[in-house]
Structure 1
Amino acid sequence: MPRPAGIDDQIEWLDDGTLLYGMPNDTPGDSDVWELKADGTSAPTLLIPHAWSPAVVRE
Structure 2
Amino acid sequence: MSAGEKAKAKTEQAQGKAEKAVGNAVGNDRMAAEGQAKKSTGDAREAKEKGKDAFKG
> Normalization by structure 1: what TM-score?
0.27
Q: Which has the larger radius of gyration?
A: 2
> Normalization by structure 2: what TM-score?
0.27
Which has more strand, going by share of residues? 1
Which has more helix, going by share of residues? 2
Higher relative contact order (CA 8 A, sep 6+): 2
